[in-house]
Structure 1
């Protein structure tokens, strides 16, 4: 059996202190309370969105229509009092429709730049797989570079900048599947589930009470500076070298699975996770630890994030799909094969 690589020692930033943690918890309490005024249930969605926001990454949501993905995104933006744009992706959507373009002004006889909807703090890309590959590339370039180029001029995107992309898994007609390299750029991929009967009953009550009216804003609010503080505190959450090594081991096994999960299961893996998966575990685990009121990461944080980080990075073969093997099943077996520190 192959030995795990030794990543060597790494320098550690000082962990966040008690005062930092207390300030972060106050901010997170306001966000959670405000989120609950508009959203019924969907606690895992709330946690996933907050992890992506705090970690400075982007998130891909997959679900059937009607599960309040837009409401969740707009509520989070309303809580932060940040700009929010929703882009409905269609096959005829052009890159300039997202990033912006130059328009000729007859009055001045010159061109002026009109920034597109991607220039917002929170951007919802609804049904991203309905847009063409060229448009997807333009959006994902903005996500990666945190800027757009219009007419040779570079326009930085605002901070924080969170892209929430959605896709419908049950309808494939007229869609353009996201390439693996583009999927990899999303920090997390979350599956949004149906509400329970009790939660759906409460949704009906809130419809009658007017609590879910689009023009009704949340009561609590935080500032953009508060979000920057959250991101700063999270970046200083302590991760022990043993946990860093655990992350590296997990990524290594996804690429060399046979000695650890057996040839029978390893044949279902087409490609393992890239180093972006390790980076995602590093960033997201710090955010999750902060959400749980800790200034240090535990191995349980890595395990909790395994599906969010790896389900779109551990790519399976057609044979796995034919036999009903899910990526989550393979991920669970990979984690079971790696000793927990």
Structure 2
């Protein structure tokens, strides 16, 4: 079993209880849309939301993006029905299941075992991947073993900042952002001179640890939500930080954040141009029997080739996906007009 290499630059959250948002989701421009049965759905709406999601999976055209479903927590009585009903009734149209609040490898194995049984019983051809939310203290403490739990089905680790903050009893209420409470002061200067404060990033450690665990096991690390969707600059800053720490995508809790994530996690034109030059120079070096060369005063070697090939493969994948999205939007507009 091998999971396909999917784009994860932007992952749009869509409440399963909101039929209007479900209808619009396939053309939102996100690489991944996850239909939410957990936190975004009130308890009294859980059953209807599940039915809405099954209908959306079966009736809507998801060819322009990947689609996953966030099930309810394994400690709730909604969970098993989420897995059984959704996969039995719409499994052929589902790319992945997102498991919330994973605390150990056993949680992953439980869902994976259920999927194996349902896929066999329903003759589902393409295996359904698993995305895992690391959003509790226990999950972070066990993140390395979680990342190793089921290599045949695991695809991504996602940092769930809000529940993680609650789990460690952090005093912040700023979902995914920074705060002046996490800062250091310079030493006292001359009498009366103001002391400077330098803000820190309270999420650096958990994101970095999760990203290392993911990359060490061939998984994709994804940063979770940024709560203030009226602050695009703050979102972009958080996304760039996550990208520097190794993440290859970020959640969008509002459609306006999708394009921001796509921009941050899409290689810039000048980077693509230089990458092509790297491959050209290394090809010349190889023909001349040289193992490394310099380009613009910087050393490039075999490691540079691997990075360049990965980047250009991603660029090609983005181009293919954008073409499919444009075609899907045109078809929808033609049908509506």
Q: TM-score, normalised by structure 2?
A: 0.27
Greater RCO, CA 8 A, separation 6+: 1
Q: TM-score, normalised by structure 1?
A: 0.27
